[in-house]
Structure 1
């Protein structure tokens, strides 16, 4: 079996290849994509390094959030039966030129970089790695929340950039909020939201959750059926919903206006869940004390965006899911799927069916 480990600078090709070798327990041989087919008699694992995240991902032909080009993938997939990747563009054109391909294992929460309809037409199965970054994103969310509540970036900049031992930050009006005793509303209670609920409950927060698709109640949170009710009751709101046509623009000026004055809003989920213009207006007016964003409607935000001058806003460049553990876990999850495929077992995380 010939496998292509099409990694990048986060989920490294070597991580994918090592995980596949460990799973198959075979005498796999590595070969660069331009150096022939390898000489081993077992599994042949080829390596390809894609440019993400040093080069931003984007649409490639008809697929989204991909890295690399169709031509590179067509060449690399010559004679390949299984492709394990995070960002490679698996488009209709790529699939048309990869007649031996039978499985694409995507090391991320969803195979957005794969044309699923074309894959099905070519008899190519797709699997993915759900939950790979849930813990990392939950921890980062709470870290961003703390940074906003306690104004850590602002005070750090005052001291490190201006040498200001700023007693003014100890005044009553300038101090921040504690998590303990604060009502925190979570919009979404899935893999990430449920972990955030557990962490915040440990801090002593009163946690609410709104998620119409949640099958069971969360023991750490009070379930709230109505989003408006959650917004009215929450001093802090954190978004953890999936981006769908129904949730796009879920929180806008009306919803922010329902929150108590001086509230805080956090988004480490998807940028288009939130109306950024409404957010900036609420920060400027004081309706919001602060906000933390890790995701944006446009990534990166364009020069001159009002986000860069919004008071009380802490911004990070879509890093919530970035940890070494995530890359290693993602590699193990997709390698396990390759093992199941090789043994003729059902895939654990198959997307659709060919």
Structure 2
């Protein structure tokens, strides 16, 4: 079985190779291509998104390859045309945005993703942003570095707020949202969830599932965990932010397109939002003139919520498990596009 690992500088080829050897019983003939991400940013490549610009490298490596495992490989129609023996592509991500799944299906190539690989990392980063925003940790840290020691921040109107006893709303209850809910529950927060696709019978018993319009006025903090689709783009706009209680905190570690950031900056300036924490933005990298850079009480990170060593190791393990299932005739977990019949 000829297998190509097209890893990068996060999901390393040695991680993929070791995981494949550990999980797959069949003899493997491994080859590799190292893609430049994240040392070189990803972008749109031909008709696919969030990929490394490496079509030529894949085309050169794919002849005779039956299984390809990648994170950022641009499996465009042009690349797939060169894949004369390919049967399976495993994408080490929550969704295969870098793969032309329709073109793969037309050629009888199965596509598998690895949802949940970064759930632990993204959930922990969410909680970190929430706590940092609620307690103004970056601002006070900068003050101490600048020589300040502000006892006036003990004033009631200046104090932060606690997660314990707070009502926190989650928009989306997938692998990440569910884990965030469980951490919040450990903090003794009350958790409300708006997710029309979540099965009420599968909700954790401490979670209250309500429509978004009912959730917003009841929570002091809101965290976004929905997938970005045509239906969810712009889901939280000026009207939704206005429906939050004054002094609420807003966090987004999902996708920038879910949120109207112009409405956010206005709400921060007016004090309607007390603070916010963002790891994702409508355009990345964040523009030098973005109003967010000068907005009060904002914590910003550069799309790093999933960036842990364990995420990379988990992605490799999940990918290897998918290959093992496929070769054994089992349906891999995370199957996105089955071969065309």
Residue matched to 2:323: 338
Q: Does 1:153 align with 2:138?
A: yes
CA contact (8 A) 2:167 2:190 kept: yes
Q: Does 1:125 align with 2:110?
A: yes
Residue matched to 2:196: 212
RMSD between aligned alpha carbons?
A: 1.2
CA contact (8 A) 1:17 1:47 kept: no
CA contact (8 A) 2:35 2:54 kept: no
Choose which of 207, 226, 239 in structure 2 pairs with 1:221: 207
CA contact (8 A) 1:155 1:169 kept: no
Give the stretch that moved more between structures: 280-289 or 122-131: 122-131
Residue matched to 1:33: none
SS of aligned partner of 2:336: coil
SS of aligned partner of 2:337: coil
> Aligned-pair distance for 1:343?
2.5
Residue matched to 1:172: 156
Answer 1 or 2: higher relative contact order, Cα 8 Å, separation at least 6. Answer: 2
Residue matched to 2:22: 22
Residue matched to 1:36: none
CA contact (8 A) 2:220 2:244 kept: yes
Q: In structure 1, what is the Cα distance between the partners aligned to 2:227 and 2:81?
A: 31
Q: In structure 1, what is the Cα distance between the partners aligned to 2:38 and 2:206?
A: 35
Q: In structure 2, what is the Cα distance between the partners aligned to 1:186 and 1:347?
A: 29
Residue matched to 1:39: none
SS of aligned partner of 1:193: helix
Q: In structure 1, what is the Cα distance between the partners aligned to 2:125 and 2:16?
A: 25
Q: In structure 1, what is the Cα distance between the partners aligned to 2:268 and 2:293?
A: 12
Question: Structure 1 residue runs of 4+, over 3 Å off?
Answer: none
Q: In structure 1, what is the Cα distance between the partners aligned to 2:258 and 2:236?
A: 6
SS of aligned partner of 1:264: strand
Q: In structure 2, what is the Cα distance between the partners aligned to 1:17 and 1:78?
A: 19
Residue matched to 1:284: 269
Equivalence map 1:79-98=2 (5 Å): 79-98=64-83
Choose which of 330, 334, 339 in structure 2 pairs with 1:349: 334
Extract unaligned runs of 5+ from structure 2: none
Q: In structure 2, what is the Cα distance between the partners aligned to 1:279 and 1:252?
A: 8
Equivalence map 1:1-354=2 (5 Å): 1-25=1-25, 42-160=27-145, 162-216=146-200, 217-224=203-210, 226-354=211-339
Q: In structure 2, what is the Cα distance between the partners aligned to 1:206 and 1:123?
A: 47
Q: In structure 1, what is the Cα distance between the partners aligned to 2:305 and 2:206?
A: 22
Extract unaligned runs of 5+ from structure 1: 27-41
CA deviation vs aligned residue, 1:65-113 (integer Å, no higher than 9, x gap) = 1113211110121221110011100000000011111110111111111
Residue matched to 1:37: none
CA deviation vs aligned residue, 1:15-65 (integer Å, no higher than 9, x gap) = 111111111256xxxxxxxxxxxxxxx421112211111111111000001
Q: In structure 1, what is the Cα distance between the partners aligned to 2:332 and 2:178?
A: 26
SS of aligned partner of 1:351: strand
